[in-house]
Amino acid sequence: MAGWSNAKFFCASLDEVVVYSIASSVFVRITSATRSKVVFGSPWRSAVFVALIFLSGVGFSLLSDLRGERSSLSTGSSDWSPLFAATLACFGGLLALGLGFHLHAAWRTKPYGALGLKYYAAPRVGVLLFLATSALTVLANKGTVHLHHYFVAWVASLFCCFDHPLSLLCLCATTGIYLQGVAAYGPVDLYED
């Protein structure tokens, strides 16, 4: 039975990575010719992109192995260590800075521009509103919401659609953290009874 359990875990994880990757590729425009050229235009760029994804996943895995990092972002959990709270505050700050950078970049960059910022923000805010509505529905029905670090990273990756080096670095980091989480913990299960 262990063989089937491992195969089921692998297939479910692979299914999720494929589906989330397709959604991400639309949001970050990786399939556009100009974006693909920026990211994968040379063997050197491709190698750096993949290496940064790998290193961010490994780095996050090492961080999560620290003794104080065994806590969780779940509505049913409140036993946060000081190290976990500090790490959460640091990553929350980085997330806010990254979001601010990307909103500013959308405001300054064609095709979005000052008046077109809504076209950049609307689909991403739509995803956030859908997730918030789902979470509130689960909580209203006495369920719990478990906000996995790798799911947060995937949502953050949806904002990383610019050719600026900082946007590309954010895309590498969020993709690496997402892949690390799926590999270590399996498919995202946000809602629990």
pLDDT tens per residue, range 86-115: 888 888 999 999 999 999 888 887 766 656
Q: Where are the alpha helices (DSSP H) in the chain?
A: 2-27, 33-40, 43-64, 82-108, 113-140, 149-157, 165-185
- Region for 65 from its dihedrals, namely left if φ exceeds 0, alpha if ψ lies in -120 to 50, beta otherwise: alpha
Domain span holding position 42: 2-192
Q: What is the mean pLDDT of the chain?
A: 84
Determine the length of the chain.
193
Angle at the Cα of 98 (from 92 to 78), degrees rounded to 5?
15
pTM over 0.75: yes
Number of domains in the chain: 1
Q: Is residue 181 within 8 Å of residue 53, measured between CB atoms?
A: no
